[in-house]
Amino acid sequence: MSKKKEILYHIVFWFLFVGLEQLLKSITIHKDLDTTWSILQNLGFILLQLLIFYSNYLIICPKTILNKRWRLLIVAQFGLIVLFPAIRFVYEEIVLFKITGYHNYDMSDLNPLYYIYDNSYYSIRILLFSLVGYFMKYMWNTNTQVTQLILEKKQAELQALKNQLSPHFLFNSLNGFYSDLYDTNPTVATDILKLSEMLRYVTYESENDMVLLKDEVLFLQNYIDLFKRRFDGKVAITFTSPYNTGTWKIPSLLLIHFLENAFKHGITDDYDNPVIIKIKTQAGRLTFTTTNKYRTTQSYDEHGIGYKNISQRLNILYPENHSLNVEQGTQYFNVTLNIPLS
């Protein structure tokens, strides 16, 4: 849902909500509504409802519902139910009393619990409206994202079919080369086997949304090995990954973009300042970092199409539950990605 459309819906809602409420008051309340106290009380009450509605809609719901923190959501709702009468009491019984000299309640025997109970109808009502509004927005955005992902997947599949050379032919050919060279040139045979594994991984595993972390680590390791082979081993790189990755899963082909960028733009032959690639798992989360020295004349692709695609993918998969920090200093380029493990 676009921001303009969302704002329009909110304007229509508040126009109808406030309009109907004022109409109901004019019919049922048998006292003047044009006195100073009534005007200020009515205005303050509307603003209080706006405050509670948008505190829930803009702050609490996004921080709890998106991350499925249901207990915190329930606690926050009770907090707002108490906050509503607290603010109303201060405004009506203290501020307005000093201005107009009138109270809304009989202060001689006013009980705090009764005051909260008496205001619960208004507080719960406005909270329900905000929850329904947020869930409608959430479902709208989710359906839009799913539709967009399905469309993009179909387009990618169509493009792959147009450009595809039979993977089975390539695998069989590479395996044949591997068999022929295994005895005479085992080093080249090993490289061919790694290339075959990478091709198989890209062709088949990329069709899955999630892959085993150990398979993604192996893919990166094979990529690094072939990169070193291309430059006769004269590559300064440190690659660190967890020894035991268990059955953790991450999105397929998520990390290769940052590795490619480090090799493409970074200085890879400076052994005093090697390219550093680290993968760390802790408390059910993955932290992936790359650090590399770069030439100041180089221009990074981190703000190009590749970076935008990665950011969009992360926002869809982990809304408000991930971090991607890109820091470009005068000599070094650092990327830190943190996502939950599945």
Q: What is the pLDDT of residues 166-222, one digit of tens each?
A: 555 566 666 677 676 777 777 777 777 787 777 777 766 666 778 899 989 988 888
213: part of which helix (H) or strand (E)?
Answer: helix 213-230
pLDDT on residue 207: 66
How much is the pLDDT for 31? 54
Q: How far apart are the first and last CA of the chain?
A: 28
Which has the minimum average pLDDT: 150-154, 300-304, 305-309? Answer: 300-304
pLDDT band for 235, please (50, 70, 90 cuts): confident
Q: What is the pLDDT of residue 168?
A: 56
What value, to the nearest 5°, has the Cα angle with vertex 65 and ends 60 and 67? 105
d(CA 303, CA 327): 12
223 in Cβ contact with 217 (< 8 Å): no
Average pLDDT of the residues in 4-25:
85
Decide if 288 contacts 278 (C-beta within 8 A): yes
Distances (CA, A) of 167 to 158, 160, 170, 293: 16, 11, 5, 37
User: Which amino acid, one-letter code, is at 281?
Assistant: T
Closest CA to 219 of 265, 187, 264, 250: 250
Q: CA-CA-CA-CA torsion for 17, 19, 20, 21, nearest 10 degrees?
A: 80
272 contact partners, CB below 8 Å, separation of at least 6: none
pLDDT-wise least confident of 107-111, 156-160, 247-251: 156-160
- The helix (run of H) or strand (run of E) holding residue 340 is strand 332-340
Residues 6 or more apart in contact with residue 42 via CB below 8 angstroms? 22, 25, 33
CA distance 213 to 200: 16
Under 8 Å between Cβ of 226 and 270? no
CA diameter of the chain? 103
Q: Do the beta carbons of residue 287 and residue 247 sit within 8 Å?
A: no
Which amino acid, 179?
S
pLDDT of residue 5: 83
Q: How far apart are CA 134 and CA 249, in angstroms?
A: 30
For residue 283, pLDDT over 80 is answered with: yes
Q: Please name the amino acid found at residue 84.
A: F
Q: How far, in Å, CA of 258 to CA of 302, rounded? A: 9
Question: Which helix (H) or strand (E) covers residue 275, if one does?
Answer: strand 275-282
**Distance of alpha carbon 33 from its chain centroid, rounded?**
48
Is the model's pLDDT at 133 over the cut of 60?
A: yes
280: β partners: 287
Q: What is the pTM (predicted TM-score) of this model?
A: 0.52
pLDDT given at position 156 = 66
